[in-house]
Amino acid sequence: MSDSPAQNAFQGSLQTQIDTLPDAWRDALQAPHLQGILRKLDAMLAQRLAAGAEIYPLRPFRALLETPPESVQVVIVGQDPYHGPNQAQGLAFSVPSFCPTPPSLRNMFKELALEYGEPAAPPRNSLVRWARQGVLLLNTSLTVEAHQPASHAKQGWEHVTDALIMRVLREARPKVLLLWGSHAQARRQLLQLQPPAGPVEVLMANHPSPLSALRPPRPFIGCGHFRQANDWLQAHGESGIDWMLGKTPQAAAGYGG
């Protein structure tokens, strides 16, 4: 383990963080099978920390704190947190604005510029401004070990985060699912497990990673998803998302913003 733990290193327990969640999210995690999975995850995390592993992020449930289920207009599904120190914030694809722009996020900004034009100033790498407008930025695994991508995949997190997406589908508010890459697209089957209470639009493309963003069959670059999502939301009476400016409070350049 590093002599100086990263600012975003996990500590404590999952249950302590769950206790701080909005009631609707906390209630969604109360099913007995999910409680069993969360206990196993807590035990696994404690064991890995005791063995000297550094785990990210500090707040695995950050996305839930920023975006309650009744506020969700858009769901963006990621895979697992960034595994470098001080990157992962608990929001899919997002890093603090003092960090270099990760390649997938760079391609997301490139796609936004194609759809809306080049911004007057470079966009901030922190996507808190999206989360506070109703974009649920949810990875399917909520923790990862330093420098070991997907190290906490298939440990039970997928069951937890699938349950959270199904909780969103119980809200009647119209919403768009942006499913980029095969991992995210596998979540489409949740629409059969939890028939949505309101209108849902599903937009699918390749992952924004440089490895796939330009490849067929559905290149991410040129997909038009950000504008399509807003057009659909506004046609269903919603405000849509200010993707480019996001003038929400406290969208700061520091670690928390």
Q: Along the 257 residues of the chain, how does pLDDT read in single tens digits?
A: 445 678 999 998 999 999 999 999 999 999 999 999 999 999 999 999 999 999 999 999 999 999 999 999 999 999 999 999 999 999 999 999 999 999 999 999 999 999 999 998 889 999 999 999 999 999 999 999 999 999 999 999 999 999 999 999 999 999 999 999 999 999 999 999 999 999 999 999 999 999 999 999 999 999 999 999 999 999 999 999 999 974 333 333 333 34
pLDDT tens per residue, range 218-241? 999 999 999 999 999 999 999 999
Distance, in Å, from the CA atom of 200 to the CA atom of 215, rounded to the nearest integer, reads 26
- Residue 3's pLDDT is 52
In sequence order, the 6+-apart residues with CB closer than 8 A to the CB of 118 are none
Find, among 219, 226, 231, 224, the residue nearest to 245 by Cα.
226
- Residue 6 confidence (pLDDT): 86
- What's the rounded Cα separation, in Å, for the pair 97 and 202? 29
CB of 168 within 8 A of CB of 195? Answer: no
The model's pTM: 0.93
Q: Give 248's Cβ-side CA count (13 Å radius).
A: 20
Alpha helices in the chain (DSSP H): 14-18, 23-28, 32-50, 62-66, 103-116, 128-131, 157-169, 182-185, 190-193, 225-235
Q: Are strands 55-56 and 135-139 parallel, antiparallel or unpaired?
A: unpaired
CB–CB of 205/219 below 8 Å? yes
Radius of gyration over every alpha carbon of the chain, rounded to an integer in angstroms: 17
Q: What pLDDT was estimated at residue 250?
A: 33
pLDDT reported for residue 256:
39
Q: Which residues contact 83 (CB under 8 A, 6 or more apart)?
A: 56, 144, 145, 146, 147, 148, 149, 151
For 150-186, how does the pLDDT look when each residue is reduced to its tens digit (9 = 90+)? 999 999 999 999 999 999 999 999 999 999 999 999 9
pLDDT number for residue 252: 32
What are the catalytic residues? 80
- How far are the Cα atoms of 52, 160, 201 from residue 188, in angstroms, in the given order? 37, 16, 11
- In this structure, how many other beta carbons lie within 10 angstroms of the beta carbon of residue 14? 21
Spatial distance between the Cα atoms of 109 and 119, rounded to a whole number of angstroms: 10
DSSP conformational letter for 101: P
